[in-house]
Amino acid sequence: MKTSVTLPQSREKPTAGSRKRKRLEAGMGYLFTGPMLLGVLVFTLIPMIFSFVLSFTKWSFVTGFDKIRFNGFDNFRQLMQDEVFLKSLGNNFIMLLAVPAGMGIALILAVIITSHVYAPGAFKVIYFMPQISSVVAVAVVWQVLFHPSYGPVNGFLSALGVDHPPKWLADPTYALPSVMLLMIWIDLGVSLIIYIAGIKNIPADLYEAATIDGASKLAQFRSITFPLLTPTTFFLLVTGIIGNFKSFALVKVLTDGGPAHSTSVVVYDMYQTAFVDLQTGYASSMVMILFVIVLAITGLQWLGQRYWVNY
Partner 1 sequence: MKKNVFALVWIVVLLVALAGCGKSNNTNGAAPAAGSTAAPEAGESAAPSTEPVTIKVANWSPAADMEPVLKAYEDSHPGVTLEYVELADNGDSVAGMKKLDLLVASGENLDVVFMPGATDYSQRAGLGLLAPLNDLITKEGITLADEYTIDPSVDGKVYALPDTLENYFVLLNKDKLDAAGLAVPTEWSWDDYLDYAAKLTSGTGPSKTFGTYFHTWAMYWELGIINQEKDNNLVNNGIVNIDSAGIRKSLELRNKAEESGVAVPYADTISQKLAYRSEFFTGHAAMIVTGNWMIGEAGGSEEFPATFTTAFAPMPSNSAGEPSGVSIANGNYVGILEKSKHQQEAYDFIRWYSTEGEQMQNVYSAWKKQDVDQFIAGVKTKAMSPDNIDETSLAYVIKNAKPAPLSVPPTYQGELETAFTKETELFILKQQDLETTISKAQAELQKIVDANK
Binding site for partner 1 (CB under 8 A): 19, 22-23, 26-27, 30, 34, 37-38, 41-42, 46, 60-65, 67, 84, 143-144, 146-150, 167-172, 255, 258-261, 275-278
Identity of the residue, 9 or 81, whose beta carbon is nearer to partner 1 in the bound complex: 81
Torsion of CA 109, 115, 118, 124, to 10 degrees: 40
Rank residues 175 and 289 by Cβ distance to partner 1 and give the closer one: 175
Task: Provide CB contacts within 8 A for 24, sequence distance 6+.
Answer: 3, 6, 7, 10
Residue 282 CB, shortest distance to partner 1, in Å, is: 11
Q: Rounded to whole angstroms, how far apart are CA atoms 32 and 4?
A: 11
- Measured from the CB of residue 16, what is the shortest distance to partner 1 in angstroms? 14
Q: How far is the CB of 271 from partner 1 (least distance, A)?
A: 11
The minimum distance between CB 163 and partner 1, in angstroms, equals: 15
Give the residue from 244, 285, 306 showing the smallest Cα distance to 80: 285
DSSP assigned state of 225: I
Kindly provide the residue ranges of all beta strands, DSSP E only, lying in 113-268, ordered along the sequence: none
Nearer to partner 1, 58 or 217 (CB): 58
Q: How far apart are CA 287 and CA 266, in angstroms?
A: 8
Query: How near is the Cβ of 208 to partner 1 at its closest, in Å?
Result: 49
Identify which of residues 102 and 165 has a Cβ nearer to partner 1 in the complex: 165
Q: Which is nearer to partner 1, 92 or 255 (CB)?
A: 255
Residue 289 has a CB neighbour count (10 Å cut-off) of: 18
Q: Give me the half-sphere count of Cα atoms (radius 13 Å) on the Cβ side of residue 168.
A: 23
